[in-house]
Structure 1
Amino acid sequence: MLNFKVFTILALFFSGLFQFSFFAKPYSNIKPPDWSHNKTIYEVNLRQFSPGGSIKEFREHLPRLKEMGVGILWFMPIHPVGAENRKGTLGSYYSVQDYKGVDPAYGTKEEFRELVKEIHSMGMYIILDWVANHTAWDNPWSKSNPEFYVKDKEGKFTPPRGTDWSDVIQLDYSNKEMRLAMTDALEYWVREFDVDGYRCDVAAMVPTDFWESVYKKLSAIKPVFMLAEAHEVALHKNAFHMSYAWDTFNLMKDMAKGKEKPEDFLKKVKKQDSPYPPQGIRMRFTSNHDENSWNGTEFELFGDAALAYSVLAATLPGMHLIYTGQEAGNKKRLAFFEKDPVDWSDLSRTDFFKKLNMLKRDNSALHHSVKSGSMEPIKHSNGKLITYLRRNGSDAVLVVVNVTSSPQTTVIKSVKGLPEMTDIFSGAKIALAKEASVTLQPGEHRVYAFSKADKK
């Protein structure tokens, strides 16, 4: 009888573990730095940012980026680009010749050091793009340490399997010495230049345990922010704070093409987000360097509703990414392997992004990670208008967006305890102590906000 009782207790115990492991909310053992909870991230394509593509020229833009409310500057790779098997005239940013070098076309290490200091002095943060999966063919490691690389059947270097990346060669993560060398290079920029973290290229192609060990090493130096170019939930557990919300981006693209209905949007976003831990951040965007160069500008993808989709990206739970030139209404696909600078002559969209960025910074309803505000469904009469409420304590943001091709009117039901709110763009008021009607033209958007801090 005793053995039977012991067996029963053990069976219930392990059954409980099984249920917990399969049905518990996903979790993460790490949380983002305290400074990151209300930030917007801006991707810097240094090569195309100015006619010369230099650090010196870029620094002239820092005051306006600060004024626009940018919190984190993500720099695409700053390293020298490989010459062997180079694509195009200038090559791919992601063909790294020297992990501890600065491309002379951009400037010197000392100029980069001064750039980091200036960014920090302005209250902003900087993360570097890091390519850990592969190197340029003429990276010095290919000569000094050929054992660092994967070889084909003939013992030759090989590009990453399943890609057309003929300008780079695959690193071998079964080699412990290579891992140490890569970790050393990652530590170098944090320790010697005080960068605040990394955006890690094709992060899921690199073993997760490597990233977990790197995170521990970097965090011993300073609190760092880690962004994975990936969507895998497991990367959030011990290595990365933020990952790409490609699923939401693709959903928005399909909605713009008429393949998805606005009525289903919020339900599908909620389902997309459900596997991720509460402190995990999803990066929302309407453009980035890959999408712009290879798949189309935001205007090609979203047409006249481009700004409306940016409102969704900026106000859904997560962190909003702005890519180089979006504030200038850039309508060209920036060349990936050639010089193709952005035209900054029209900065009329700056105020649009500034309003969204400042709202993210100051209104806790839009904060992310463990400090995230809720996203609540709100009763209204027209599902073709994407309508939702973000709340955190007394702070609230009501979003109404029309991504259809025709005018839409909705009647929003009253919400108990919600104060009068003001649209950050038009100044229009809405009071939901009783039901209210809202009419939007195609591509129009309203972002009504209330913050207790504004009333002090």
Structure 2
Amino acid sequence: MREKITNIYEINTRVWLRELSNKYRKKITLGNIPEEEILFMRELGFDTLWLMGVWLSSKKSREAALSNQKLWDELNAALPQLELEEISCSPYAIAGYEVDSFLGNNREMLELKKRLNSHGIKLILDFVPNHVALDHPWVHAYPEYFIRATRQELQNHPELFFSADNKAVLAYGKDPYFPSWADVVQLNYYNPSTRKAIQEELLRVASLCDGVRCDMAMLILKRVQKQIWGERVFGSGKFTEPESEFWQESIGYIKKSYPEFIFIAEVYWGLEYELMNLGFNYVYDKTFYDFLEYSDIEKLKGNLTEQNETAGKKLKFIENHDENRAIAVFGREKSKAAAFLLAVSPGAHLFHQGQIEGFKNKLPIYLKESLGEKSDEGIIEFYKNILVTSKNISLNMFAWESTVIFPAWKENETYKNCIALFNKNQYGYYLAVANYSDSQSQCYTRFDITTIQAKELIFKDLLSQSEYVRGKEDIILKGLYLDMHKYGYHLFRILGEG
């Protein structure tokens, strides 16, 4: 399917264009991104670029954010001696689905899409269904599009509601497990007019890109909205529960005009399969991240060897703009092992701006400036290696089988640290192995090589170009012996000899 994606590169657009302007000593917008920057992405094996934070920014939402002392503390910790002009609103407080003039315009975005497509790279943009900025035109013109409340409710719960300029009492955006977002306004999807208006916005966005990453996509499910807002969703009796979910209607609606358009859902709480069934091409796989962080090896094996249709629809990551930097979370060596397992996993893989450079400090999404970290050349070479290798043999197309792993000798429990994945297909035989622990580990692993017509087997490590020769009969009888240093990994292509 042409909607298929493999490696996505997430970029903070505001920061990136400033970096490019400094690098090339001229104003860089979406309309004049140097060709070598696009070629760099292609050569690394990225087939998709997610430009995060391109839409019209909000003055009111910025003011609301700047009144938050906790946010100020976070920003000052990230960038000491911070200047006010270096702070923007949240990229997810959108005042309108027009490209922000600081970055370019819609025409430039469309031209960039064409340039990317000519290099085999798709363009993904944000879509934020749950809320809009405080000064979005709808707040004044169509207050009925939002969750509304009474003056008494505002008085009782000023943390949940606010009075708009037109005196309507509206709700701030909300996730059920966190305090309200006081820089955005909560849309009401029980109102059919809201649904239609958002659908038309989505259609306009679809004209500029190849797909959308839908922020917190599960928040607008009917039962989730009702869980958060209760009877307010009915608008004092004006609205009834919609017959179908917004996503089911809208994904079909968009694909009538753009059949190959890609929908990616940021989703949690075990609702991933529900959103797949509503039409999303890809959904976040946060459980993969959690298994890696907490070194849950048995669950990792299960995740990596899924062989159902849904396995290819999961978007995996070890870092994004919401999470702390991979090196900060995992440590340097563990982060490399985690990235290796990410690269060989089924489905789509997300890599974040700064991850490839080995940055350690999280970049707050409110900042327009980078943090000025120095790149780690060793990490850069590591990512180039795994990205290019995984691209060349299309690892995410593989349906990995979990091999049998057993102790190297009696009472050696380190075999439990080892992961071994095997695949045979029309392109050859492959074995991916990793020691996902902080101690040297040994094991034997057994897999089906009976169809290789040879007495000896060459195990060629595609990442290091090292080669190992082993007898076929020994492997069939005893298994392949592995001795790996902490957080070690190998990707073997198995060839017959003799």
- TM-score (ref. length: structure 2): 0.74
Report the secondary structure of 2:111's partner residue. Answer: helix
1:6 matched residue in structure 2: none
Structure 1 residue 431, shift from structure 2 partner: 5.5
1:227 to 239, 243, 264: 264
Task: Please provide the CA RMSD for this pair.
Answer: 2.7
| Residues 350-393 of structure 1, C-alpha deviations (whole Å, 9 max, x = no match) | 443344334443435531xxxx5243333343221222224444
Instruction: Please tell me the residue identity of whatever aligns with 1:92.
Output: S
Displacement of 1:306 in angstroms is 0.6
**Cα distance in 2 between the residues matched to 1:70 and 1:290:** 21
| 2:303 alignment counterpart | 269
Distance across 1 between alignment mates of 2:495 and 2:125:
34
Among 47, 51, 58, the residue aligned to 1:82? 58
Tell whether 2:4 aligns with 1:42.
no
Structure 2 residue 467 is matched with structure 1 residue 429: yes
Q: Report the equivalent of 1:70.
A: 46
Q: Say whether the 8 Å CA contact 2:128–2:215 is kept in structure 1.
A: yes
Match of 2:326? 298
Alignment partner of 1:202 is 2:216: yes
1:4-403 alignment runs, 5 A limit: 33-34=1-2, 36=4, 39-49=6-16, 50-51=18-19, 54-55=29-30, 56-57=32-33, 61-86=37-62, 87-88=65-66, 89-99=87-97, 101-154=98-151, 155-161=168-174, 162=176, 163-191=179-207, 193=208, 195-207=209-221, 209-222=245-258, 223-231=260-268, 232=271, 233-255=273-295, 260=296, 262=297, 264-269=298-303, 277-278=309-310, 281-291=313-323, 296-304=324-332, 305-341=334-370, 343=373, 345-346=375-376, 348-364=378-394, 366-367=396-397, 372-381=398-407, 382-403=415-436
Write the deviation string for residues 210-249 of structure 1: whole angstroms up to 9, x where unpaired.
1122211221222111110014211111320111111121
Change over 3 Å in CA distance of 1:146–1:366 after alignment to 2: same
Unaligned 5+ segments in structure 2 are: 22-27, 67-86, 152-167, 223-244, 408-414
CA contact (8 A) 1:41 1:71 kept: yes
Amino acid at match of 2:262: F
Deviations 1:103-130 (A, max 9, x none): 1221222221221111011111111111
More strand by share: 2
User: What SS does the corresponding residue of 1:290 show, helix, strand or coil?
Assistant: coil
Residues 189, 176 of structure 1: CA spacing in aligned structure 2 closer, same or farther, 3 A cutoff? Answer: same
Q: For residue 60 of structure 2, give the secondary structure of its aligned residue in structure 1.
A: coil
Letter in 2 for 1:156: V
Q: Higher relative contact order by CA 8 Å / sep ≥ 6: 1 or 2?
A: 1
Distance in structure 2 (CA, Å) of the matches to 1:113 and 1:303: 39
Larger of the two Rg values belongs to structure: 2
Instruction: Give me the whole-angstrom Cα distance separating, in 2, the residues matched to 1:414 and 1:236.
Output: 33
Alignment partner of 2:322: what SS? helix
Aligned residues of 2:343 and 2:349 also touching (Cα < 8 A)? yes
CA distance in 1, matches of 2:58, 2:486: 47
Structure 2 CA distance, aligned partners of 1:200 and 1:430? Answer: 46
Contact 2:129 2:214 in 1 (8 A): yes
**Aligned amino acid, residue 215 of structure 1:** I
Question: Please, what TM-score do these two structures have when normalized by structure 1?
Answer: 0.80
Residues 328 and 349 of structure 1 are in contact (CA less than 8 Å); yes or no, is this contact kept in structure 2? yes
Percent of pairs with identical residues:
24
> Which one of the candidate residues 479, 485, 491 is aligned to 1:441?
485
Contact 1:236–1:277 (CA under 8 A) maintained in structure 2: no
